[in-house]
């Protein structure tokens, strides 16, 4: 076939592109055209006729190709028209298809002519046809192309972009080409400077540039990949050339390629070859840049660069490694090194001596980055160490059994439950240590565990070395991993002593119940035979004794100071005032005592009735605290109310409850030393209110707590003379009982006292 015709046909018929694919291409023998993509069928009669015409067309002018009747028929077919080559003989369409959609790379089985030479042939062909394109026609054709196209002048300056280009590169609506918006990156992700764009390079070198791959990041942050061709095109209006650059979207292909590359990439490895001393390198793989941060050339120039980055604690080991390599030993070593960014890496270094005539002439080696491997190993070792610590120090019986129910792991404490050491049990069947009365049952349970994935619980009776029975409660589960035999893992607790304790508790509980019944019976007997008269007389005597003392004390002061004032007419006025103050205080004390007696009498006789109202107990307590604040301040006692709520309602007798808490604060004041602390704590608990009056005073013997609520009883306190008739707490209890509440006391000597009261929020609840 004529060479020119062959070359032109290769370019015309070897078209491919974004939406076109490879339509036709010349076979290697140059005598036929075949379809690579699209709907072209070799059996199609038009295609066959065209091939036959080419076969007999040997020596005619290239321009005659377009007049081949078979070619015209082929171009008129619908499937060919849809692929855009019907009017390929028209000059503007011819250039567009040739330069936009031709690709040497796709034509694997033919040798395509140099693009510049092809362009000259096409130009000659067009001149013979006398069909010259105008720039307007060319731009119109490019505008509607299904491929992103950029048209630039002979200096590489963009002069026109088509609609697809502007859509693809986010330049829609931008009046002028903007280099700031149009940024490309290479396959390594490095930004490409504008002067290195393909159309700039093509302009500088006056040569077409093919099959360059670039990345673009759109306004959505998506990465798009493009195959770029920048081709010189003759300008029909002058002698200059223009550059037509096409961008074919190959994002899908690149994504697959990068995923495959990531999945198939080997671990970080550097290959090298050096002299026997390990300082003169003849070869270092490019991966040194990734691992060490240095280019091979940098390591060639500085032969001690790698050694200088090794941690000092590994240097002697490394020197011995190099020495042994130079003596002919094949070795591997692991050490720690800093890369160019001072990042610590662990590496495994394998060295292989190459011998000639029994002498080492060079070393070839592999350096692998094992940093992640080391980290994982260290974590595993740490986890194993923790597990061993738990295993050996656990107070549980931990073991594992193989498929034959033989011990292959036992912790020390577990083995000692049975009086053995772990090594004595390993390799022995668990059935050898089970009591005969439950051996068969337990072996069936273990078989069930072995065939199940669930965690099962069971109790087993073991025979210890001393022939005693040890009862152990187990939880066991089967564990199976690939490459590891099935294992039963069990954890048990010795419940022998627990069982004994349970039996003892049960026996003691029965005895205690019997004792309580006996005591109750005896109490009933005693209560029926008490001498009521003696008890009344005793209470009367106690009452008279206490009241006499409490009445006599203030009366003595009142009478004494009054007589002094009456008998001494010359007594000074200020002394009279002081005596009068004492008389007033003792009179008030006497008045309070009489009020307490009357109140107690009313409560005791049942004459006092509650006046129930709904009121805020927190407000009542704050009023009470304000009234006694000066008294507490005189002893520097800190008095506070602690409540999460500022408002807490209760239905009850506000006056009597105020009286009860006044009595409690009075006691707290009496028995708290100077500088002490008293707290009233209020808690809202469901349908009741809890009050805690706590002090850090002198406290009470636990043995004395039981008599605090007995009428007219006063506790004797060494070294203290504290006034009181002995029925303050009794009155408090009476008031709380009337409100269907409860009262209790917690106290320790010299540590303080807590009085705990609970009262229903609604008094009607208690009445029901």
Structural domains in the chain (count) = 5
For 29, the 3-state DSSP assignment is coil
Q: Which residue has the tokens 């149009």?
A: 182
Q: What is the pLDDT of residue 681?
A: 96
| CATH (domain of 580) | 1.10.287.130
| CATH (domain of 275) | 3.30.450.20
Q: What is the pLDDT of residue 73?
A: 61
Q: Is residue 175 within a helix (H) or strand (E), and if so which, with residue range?
A: none
pLDDT confidence tier of residue 28, bands split at 50, 70 and 90: very low
Task: With a cut of 80, say whether residue 118 has pLDDT above it.
Answer: no
Convert the pLDDT of each residue in 414-471 to its tens digit. 888 888 988 888 999 888 888 888 888 888 888 888 888 888 888 888 888 888 888 8
Examine the domain organization and report whether 542 and 635 are in the same domain.
no
Q: Regarding predicted confidence, which is higher, 664 or 356?
A: 664
| Joined tokens for residue 120 | 């000259």
Question: What residues contact 72, with CB distance under 8 A and at least 6 apart?
Answer: 66
Task: With a cut of 90, say whether residue 658 has pLDDT above it.
Answer: yes
Record the pTM: 0.31
Q: What is the pLDDT of residue 306?
A: 86
Answer with the one of 315, 343, 375 that is the final residue of a domain: 375
As a whole number of angstroms, the distance between CA 385 and CA 745 comes to 52
Answer with the one of 93, 118, 133 that is the final residue of a domain: 133
As a whole number of angstroms, the distance between CA 542 and CA 366 comes to 104
Task: With a cut of 70, say whether residue 574 has pLDDT above it.
Answer: yes
| Joined tokens for residue 689 | 């209110």
Q: Which residue has the tokens 């009017």?
A: 87
Contact (CB, 8 A) for 83 and 38: yes
As a whole number of angstroms, the distance between CA 484 and CA 481 comes to 5
| Joined tokens for residue 667 | 């006691």
Interval 153-175 mean pLDDT: 85
Q: What average pLDDT does the structure give for the chain?
A: 75
Q: Which residues constitute the domain of residue 288?
A: 266-375
As a whole number of angstroms, the distance between CA 22 and CA 104 comes to 11
Convert the pLDDT of each residue in 579-588 to its tens digit. 787 788 777 7
Q: Tell me, yes or no, whether 291 lies in a domain.
A: yes
Q: Tell me, yes or no, whether 243 lies in a domain.
A: no
pLDDT confidence tier of residue 754, bands split at 50, 70 and 90: very high
Provide the 10 A C-beta neighbour count for residue 755.
21
| Joined tokens for residue 147 | 């491929």
Q: Tell me, yes or no, whether 712 lies in a domain.
A: yes
Question: What residues contact 71, with CB distance under 8 A and at least 6 apart?
Answer: 50, 53, 65
| Joined tokens for residue 316 | 């002697």
Indicate the burial class of 464 (C-beta count within 10 angstroms; 0-12, 13-18, 19 or more): middle
DSSP-assigned states of every residue in 6-73: HHHHHHHHSB--TTT---EEE-TTSS-EEESSTT--TT-HHHHHHHHHHHH--SS-GGGGGG-HHHHH
H helical segments located in 394-438: 412-417, 422-425
pLDDT confidence tier of residue 44, bands split at 50, 70 and 90: low
Examine the domain organization and report whether 703 and 672 are in the same domain.
yes
Task: Find the range with the poorest average confidence among 67-76, 522-531, 541-550, 660-669.
Answer: 67-76
Q: Regarding predicted confidence, which is higher, 703 or 665?
A: 665
Q: How far is CA 4 from CA 58, 88, 339, in A?
A: 10, 17, 58
Examine the domain organization and report whether 14 and 73 are in the same domain.
yes
As a whole number of angstroms, the distance between CA 414 and CA 406 comes to 15
Examine the domain organization and report whether 617 and 593 are in the same domain.
no
Examine the domain organization and report whether 480 and 586 are in the same domain.
no
Q: What is the pLDDT of residue 533?
A: 57
**Phi-psi category of residue 173: left, alpha or beta, with phi > 0 → left and psi -120 to 50 → alpha:** left
Q: Tell me, yes or no, whether 81 lies in a domain.
A: yes
Convert the pLDDT of each residue in 169-210 to its tens digit. 888 877 667 777 788 998 878 889 988 999 999 999 988 888
Task: With a cut of 60, say whether residue 14 has pLDDT above it.
Answer: no
Convert the pLDDT of each residue in 202-254 to its tens digit. 999 988 888 789 999 988 888 899 989 888 876 655 567 788 888 988 887 77
Find, among 540, 543, 554, the residue nearest to 723 by Cα.
554
Q: Regarding predicted confidence, which is higher, 718 or 570?
A: 570
Question: What residues contact 429, with CB distance under 8 A and at least 6 apart?
Answer: 404, 405, 406, 407
Whole-number percent of the chain with pLDDT over 90? 19
Task: Find the range with the poorest average confidence among 196-205, 232-241, 285-294, 659-668.
Answer: 232-241
Convert the pLDDT of each residue in 598-645 to its tens digit. 776 677 766 678 889 999 999 999 999 999 999 999 999 999 999 999
As a whole number of angstroms, the distance between CA 479 and CA 486 comes to 6
Q: What is the pLDDT of residue 542?
A: 64
Q: Tell me, yes or no, whether 416 lies in a domain.
A: yes
As a whole number of angstroms, the distance between CA 759 and CA 620 comes to 15
For 18, the 3-state DSSP assignment is coil
Q: Tell me, yes or no, whether 333 lies in a domain.
A: yes
**Phi-psi category of residue 392: left, alpha or beta, with phi > 0 → left and psi -120 to 50 → alpha:** alpha
Residue 384's φ and ψ, nearest 5 degrees, are -65, -40
Q: Tell me, yes or no, whether 741 lies in a domain.
A: yes
Q: Which strands form 344-356's sheet, in the order they lie side by side?
A: 281-284, 269-274, 359-369, 344-356, 331-338
**Cα 165–chain centre separation:** 45
Q: What is the pLDDT of residue 336?
A: 94
Q: Tell me, yes or no, whether 520 lies in a domain.
A: no
Examine the domain organization and report whether 637 and 748 are in the same domain.
yes
Provide the 10 A C-beta neighbour count for residue 546.
18
């Amino acid at each position: 076939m004529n060479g020119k015709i062959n070359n032109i046909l290769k370019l015309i018929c070897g078209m491919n592109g974004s939406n076109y694919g490879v339509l036709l291409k010349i076979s290697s023998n140059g005598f036929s055209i075949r379809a690579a993509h699209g709907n072209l069928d070799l059996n199609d009669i038009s295609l066959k006729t065209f091939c036959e015409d080419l076969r007999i067309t040997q020596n005619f002018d290239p321009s005659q190709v377009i007049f081949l009747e078979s070619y015209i028929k082929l171009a008129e077919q619908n499937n060919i028209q849809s692929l855009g080559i019907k009017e390929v003989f028209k000059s503007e369409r011819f250039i567009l298809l040739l330069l936009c959609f031709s690709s040497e790379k796709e034509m694997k089985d033919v040798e395509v002519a140099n693009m510049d030479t092809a362009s000259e042939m096409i130009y000659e062909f067009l001149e013979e046809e006398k069909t010259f394109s105008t720039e307007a026609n060319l731009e119109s054709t490019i505008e509607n192309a299904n491929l992103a196209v950029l048209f630039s002048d002979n200096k590489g300056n963009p002069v026109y972009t088509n609609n697809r280009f502007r859509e693809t590169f986010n330049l829609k609506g931008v009046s002028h080409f903007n280099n700031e918006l149009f940024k490309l990156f290479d396959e390594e992700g490095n930004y490409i400077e504008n002067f290195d764009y393909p159309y700039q390079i093509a302009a500088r070198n006056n040569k077409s540039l093919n099959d360059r791959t670039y990345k673009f990041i759109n306004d959505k942050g998506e990465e798009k990949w493009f195959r770029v061709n920048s081709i010189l095109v003759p300008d029909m209006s002058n002698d200059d050339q223009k550059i037509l650059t096409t961008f074919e979207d190959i994002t899908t292909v690149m994504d697959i390629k990068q995923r495959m590359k990531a999945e198939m990439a080997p671990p970080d490895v550097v290959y090298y070859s050096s002299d026997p001393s390990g300082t003169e390198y003849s070869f270092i793989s490019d991966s040194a840049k990734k691992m060490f941060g240095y280019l091979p050339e940098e390591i060639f120039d500085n032969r001690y660069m790698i050694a200088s980055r090794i941690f000092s604690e590994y240097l002697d080991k490394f020197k011995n490694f190099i020495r042994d390599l130079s003596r002919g030993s094949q070795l591997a070593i692991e050490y720690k090194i800093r890369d160019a960014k001072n990042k610590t890496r662990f590496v495994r270094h394998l060295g292989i001596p190459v011998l000639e005539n029994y002498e080492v002439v060079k070393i070839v080696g592999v350096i692998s980055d094992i940093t992640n491997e080391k980290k994982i190993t260290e974590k595993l070792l740490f986890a194993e160490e923790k597990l061993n610590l738990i295993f050996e120090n656990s107070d549980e019986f931990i073991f594992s059994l193989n498929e034959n129910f033989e011990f292959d792991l036992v912790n020390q404490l577990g083995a000692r439950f049975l009086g053995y050491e772990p090594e004595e049990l390993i390799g022995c069947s668990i059935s050898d240590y089970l009591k005969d009365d439950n051996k068969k049952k337990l072996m069936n349970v273990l078989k069930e565990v072995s065939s199940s994935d669930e965690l099962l619980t069971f109790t087993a009776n073991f025979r210890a070395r001393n022939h005693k029975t040890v009862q152990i409660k187990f939880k066991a589960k089967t564990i199976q991993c690939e490459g590891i035999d099935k294992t039963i893992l069990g954890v048990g607790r010795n419940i022998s002593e627990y069982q004994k304790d349970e039996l003892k508790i049960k026996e003691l509980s029965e005895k205690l119940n019997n004792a309580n019944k006996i005591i109750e019976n005896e109490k009933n007997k005693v209560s029926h035979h008490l001498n009521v008269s003696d008890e009344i007389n005793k209470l009367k005597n106690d009452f008279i004794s206490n009241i006499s003392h409490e009445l006599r004390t203030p009366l003595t002061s009142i009478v004494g100071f009054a007589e002094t004032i009456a008998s001494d007419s010359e007594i000074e006025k200020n002394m009279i005032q002081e005596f009068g103050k004492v008389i007033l205080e003792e009179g008030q004390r006497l008045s309070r005592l009489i009020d307490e007696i009357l109140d107690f009498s009313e409560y005791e006789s049942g004459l006092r009735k509650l006046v129930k109202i709904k009121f805020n107990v927190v407000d009542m307590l704050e009023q009470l605290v304000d009234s006694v604040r000066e008294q507490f301040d005189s002893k520097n006692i800190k008095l506070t109310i602690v409540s999460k709520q500022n408002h807490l309602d209760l239905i009850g007798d506000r006056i009597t409850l105020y009286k009860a808490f006044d009595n409690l604060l009075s006691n707290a004041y009496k028995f708290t030393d100077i500088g002490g602390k008293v707290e009233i704590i209020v808690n809202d608990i469901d349908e009741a209110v809890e009050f805690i009056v706590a002090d850090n005073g002198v406290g009470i013997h636990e043995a004395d707590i039981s008599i605090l609520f007995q009428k007219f009883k006063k506790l004797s306190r060494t070294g203290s003379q504290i006034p009181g008739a002995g029925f303050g707490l009794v009155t408090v209890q009476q008031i709380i009982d009337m409100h269907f509440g409860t009262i209790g006391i917690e106290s320790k000597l010299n540590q303080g006292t807590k009085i705990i009261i609970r009262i229903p929020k609604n008094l009607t609840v208690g009445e029901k």
